[in-house]
Amino acid sequence: MNPYAEPLLELKKASKAYNGSVNTLSPDETSVLLDDVSLVVRPGDRIGIFSSRNIESISLINCLAGISSLDKGELIHRASVSWPVGANDALDPKLTGHANARFAFEIYEDPANYQEKLELVRNLCELTEDQFHSPISTYLGRDLQIFRLALSLVIDFDCYLIGRVGDGWKRKGQVRKPSPVFAYMKEKLEGKTLLITSAKQAIFALRYCTTGIAIIDGKIAYNGDPKVCLDMALEHRQQLTLQQIEANTASDSDDLSGEDLDES
Amino acid sequence: MKTKKLQGNQFFQLLSKAYGKAYLQARIVAAISQRELRLRASKGLLGVAGVFIEPILGIATFMALRLLAGARTDYINPLLSLSLGFIPFFLFSDVAIKSLDGVQKNSKLYFYRRIKPLDALFGDAFLTTQVYGILMLFLYVSVSAWEWNFSIEVLGILSILFIIVAIFGLGVGLNTLIFGHRLPLLALFVRLTVRRLLLFTSCVFFPIRLIPDQFRIWILWNPLAHGIELMRHAVNPAYPIPGVSMSYFLFSSLGLLFIGFLIYGNNEQLLLADDP
């Protein structure tokens, strides 16, 4: 990591709120997901994003990828930045795996590489030619998860944003051998610039990142050791849970006292 | 000397960068067009053939009704005359009016950050132009082979006019893309009325010369009517086209495209926002 290198990705004073049901919010309540967040990603950075609420870190990854708009602030991409690895909303269930993968390559890859990369995706997903040329709506959930992951990894980006990758790729089939995409991911992400959400994959994030940021109440509360970030996020989550339990207990007792009054 | 050389290098660097961007844009538009073709093919039983057969059936129904009602046979073969009305009309309406839902319809594609609403509109328009272009070519070649009077010059002029109709559709489409996204009620109104209104005011069924003078001036506001009549005139130069102007058709098409780009340029971020 070179602190003087030109940033690949910059987020300036970003804010984002969410209307509706995050945890226990009612539809007319607003939850702040990001509040005045600034972040600079330089070549070689491997940053884990730890937050007490999963939606905050996922939202930050989505905003950095540019698939979710910011309410305020600015996002600057100075290099090719991936979409959140492991997700892919652009896949159309009516199209075959081959057609979906080819479309992604047509957008992001050099035409000379299409065939080689299509073959690589098929091999990583352990699909037969027939399966690869079938609509992805016929794929099993785990196969689709592996397909999404393989497609994201096969394309060469300068910076990878890693969203929720799930765990279907860890084991495949009755023999319980790891999917080839598991080994490929380790190889591909070696030495690459990464940002990883820790949402439901804290161990995975700790394994791949060298530094971390802790997001508490939408703000970056700490930037440094990933383990400290994880501890801060967990501690704040416990506090939120306790507050929630207290609030629920209070509202239950209010309801009960209301009933008593009605009865009297 | 050194400064001049540097400026020269910078110029070529800029040129190469612009070429790279244009090439990428063209690749993206072609990819969206191919994807749309695959999607349309996957919806029907006949696959890719269905993509071409479906509009043929639609146009054939209208043409059959018009021929049964008694189409005029002077100047141009009635089948060709009606085809030169229906095909540009459907091309225009498919490109322009379908753009009303364009942003929402293609919203999944914006997951790939390189794709913008403009690319999706261009991709759809490119495919629609290809489909109707092939239909028009097929009909022109069939009718001219039947009548034994094929002319490559006519085909050339028809192709140019057809491309201008596509540009006109794209210009209107760019505007409707934004208005449709911003004003859903207006979009609904346009969807319900404009297509029917245009069908009867674009010289699809009747040649402009048959329209009384007092109404003709109103019809001539519609650039599509000019385009359709110019296409018929291209097939037979004796076909009368009172009041029809090539320059009006060309400049209104290019003008609308320019205005569309202008409005789009100022509203692109708004189209990409999560909520309308």
Calculate mean pLDDT across residues A201-225. 89
Q: Give the closest-approach CA distance of A102 to chain B in angstroms.
A: 9
Residue B221 contacts A where some CB pair is shorter than 8 Å: no
Residues of chain B with Cβ-Cβ distance to A160 below 8 Å are none
Residue B113 contacts A where some CB pair is shorter than 8 Å: yes
Probe site for chain B from A103, A157, A158 (most B CB atoms < 10 A)? A103
Calculate mean pLDDT across residues A154-171. 80
Least Cα distance to B123 among B36, B59, B60, B189 occurs for B36
Q: Give the model's pLDDT for residue A260.
A: 47
Q: What is the DSSP string of A163-211?
A: ----SGGG-BTTTTBPPHHHHHHHHHTTT-EEEEE-TT-HHHHHHH-SE
Q: Give the model's pLDDT for residue A255.
A: 61
* CA-derived radius of gyration, chain B: 21
Q: Give the closest-approach CA distance of B78 to chain A in angstroms.
A: 40
Question: Residues of B194-208 as b/e, b for ≥16 C-beta within 10 angstroms?
Answer: bbeebbebbbbbebb
Contact call for B31 and A135, based on CB within 8 A: no
Q: Could you tell me if the ipTM is greater than 0.85?
A: no
Summary mean pLDDT of chain A: 85
Which residue on chain A is closest to B35 by alpha carbon?
A: A103
Q: Give the model's pLDDT for residue B75.
A: 83
Contact call for B112 and A81, based on CB within 8 A: no
In the chain, the amino acid numbered B32 is I
Calculate mean pLDDT across residues B91-104. 81
Calculate mean pLDDT across residues B145-173. 90
**Out of A149-158, A163-172, B251-260, which region has the weakest mean confidence (pLDDT)?**
A163-172
Could you read off the pLDDT of B214-269 as tens digits, one per residue? 889 999 999 999 999 999 999 989 999 999 999 999 999 999 999 999 988 888 87
Query: Would the pLDDT of A263 be above 50?
Result: no
Q: What is the pTM of this model?
A: 0.83
Calculate mean pLDDT across residues A172-185. 73
Residues of chain B with Cβ-Cβ distance to A67 below 8 Å are 110-111, 113
Q: Give the model's pLDDT for residue B26.
A: 92
* Coarse DSSP helix, strand, coil percentages of chain B, rounded to the nearest 5 percent: 80, 0, 20
Q: Give the model's pLDDT for residue A167.
A: 67
Summary mean pLDDT of chain B: 86
Q: Give the model's pLDDT for residue A101.
A: 95
Contact call for B108 and A90, based on CB within 8 A: yes
Q: Give the model's pLDDT for residue A201.
A: 85
Residues of chain B with Cβ-Cβ distance to A111 below 8 Å are 27
Please, what sign has the CA dihedral across residues A127, A129, A131, A134? positive
Those of residues 141-180 in B touching chain A at CB distance below 8 A are: none
Q: Give the model's pLDDT for residue A133.
A: 94
Q: Give the model's pLDDT for residue A111.
A: 87
Calculate mean pLDDT across residues A163-186. 72
* CA triple A255-A260-A264, angle to 5 deg: 150
Q: Give the closest-approach CA distance of B144 to chain A in angstroms.
A: 39
Is B145 buried (19+), middle (13-18) or exposed (0-12) by CB count in 10 A? exposed
Could you read off the pLDDT of A10-54 as tens digits, one per residue? 999 999 988 765 555 455 567 888 999 999 999 999 999 999 888
Residues of chain B with Cβ-Cβ distance to A155 below 8 Å are none
Q: pLDDT tier at A170 (50, 70, 90 boundaries)?
A: low
Q: pLDDT tier at B276 (50, 70, 90 boundaries)?
A: very low
Could you read off the pLDDT of B207-224 as tens digits, one per residue? 899 889 888 999 999 999
Which residue on chain A is closest to B108 by alpha carbon?
A: A90
Query: For B38, which of A67, A89, A99 is closest by C-beta distance?
Result: A99
Tokens 């690895």 appear where? Answer: A85
Probe site for chain B from A61, A91, A106 (most B CB atoms < 10 A)? A106
Query: Would the pLDDT of B3 be above 60?
Result: no
| Token code pair at residue B223 | 């650039």
Enumerate chain A positions whose Cβ falls within 8 A of a Cβ in B.
Answer: 65-69, 77, 81, 83, 88-90, 92, 94-95, 99, 103-104, 106-108, 111, 135
Contact call for B39 and A103, based on CB within 8 A: no
Could you read off the pLDDT of A85-136 as tens digits, one per residue? 988 889 999 999 999 999 999 999 888 889 999 999 999 999 999 999 999 9
Contact call for B111 and A89, based on CB within 8 A: yes
Size of interface A-B (CB pairs under 8 A): 53
Query: For B112, which of A69, A107, A111 is closest by C-beta distance?
Result: A107
Calculate mean pLDDT across residues B113-132. 91
Probe site for chain A from B29, B114, B274, B275 (most A CB atoms < 10 A)? B274
| Token code pair at residue B102 | 């364009």
Q: Which helix (H) or strand (E) holds A11?
A: strand A9-19
At B46 the three-state DSSP class reads: coil
Contact call for A92 and B35, based on CB within 8 A: yes
